[in-house]
Amino acid sequence: MDLRQIKNLMKEFEDSKIHKLEIKDNEFSIKLEKEDNNTFVSSPNFAPVGSFTENTMTKEQDKIVEEPEVNSNILVRSPLVGTFYQSPSPDSEPFAKVNQKVNKGDVIFIVEAMKVMNEITSPVNGTIVSINVKDATMVEFDQIVMEIME
């Protein structure tokens, strides 16, 4: 790889949502890692707003409407398209299980994309409430993989 290709690779990496990249090719090796990992999105703590006409707005103001219960769990989403893995190897223990306590920054799963293993870390301290994906299956970008209760 020449210097121009390395600079282009670094620019693409910086603009992407991937937080860790490692490339090995014969005698050449490069490892890029971002300090700030903002790949996790938590669920909003408000009810969705519907569309109202004038007539329904006045009727809504006259009566008390019960808010639907909103799930306050932190949703851990896949930051990229790839294969979801619960453990570092098939014979290893999973990074995280349901009802397991995790700390912010703990690796909770891996998404493999283009032969690169991307370690996804917990955005908060909490307990794993659910794992929504089976091991070694494909995940889409922004797909909810796990839920963590703070």
Q: What is the CATH number of the domain that holds 76?
A: 2.40.50.100
Choose from 15-24, 29-38, 132-141 the range with maximum mean pLDDT: 132-141
Q: Considering the domain boundaries, does residue 14 fall inside one?
A: no
Higher pLDDT, 137 or 18: 137
- The structural domain count of the chain equals 1
Does pLDDT of 84 surpass 60? yes
Query: pTM of the entire structure?
Result: 0.54
Who's near 140: CB < 8 A, 6+ residues apart?
A: 78, 81
User: What is the domain range of residue 116?
Assistant: 37-41+71-149
141 found inside a domain: yes
Residue 88 and residue 91: Cα distance in Å, rounded? Answer: 8
Tell me: the pLDDT tens digits for 91-148?
A: 999 999 999 999 999 999 999 999 999 999 999 999 999 999 999 999 999 999 999 9
Which among 82, 94, 91, 74 has a CA at the least distance from the CA of 118? 82
Domain contains 126: yes
**CA 140/CA 146 separation, integer angstroms:** 13
Tell me how far apart the alpha carbons of residues 114 and 7 are, in angstroms, rounded to a whole number. Answer: 20
End-to-end, the C-alpha distance of the chain in Å comes to 45
Is pLDDT at 5 greater than 80 in this prediction? no
Kindly report the backbone phi and psi dihedral angles of residue 11, in degrees, each rounded to the nearest multiple of 5, phi listed first.
-65, -45
Residue 92 lies in a domain: yes
Residue 20, domain member (yes or no): no
Instruction: Please give the average per-residue pLDDT across 24-41, as a whole number.
Output: 66
Q: Which two tokens stand for residue 12?
A: 């693409």
Note whether residue 32 is domain-resident.
Answer: no
Query: Does residue 86 form part of some domain?
Result: yes
Q: Is residue 95 part of a domain?
A: yes
pLDDT > 90 fraction of the chain, expressed in percent and rounded: 50
Higher pLDDT, 28 or 105: 105
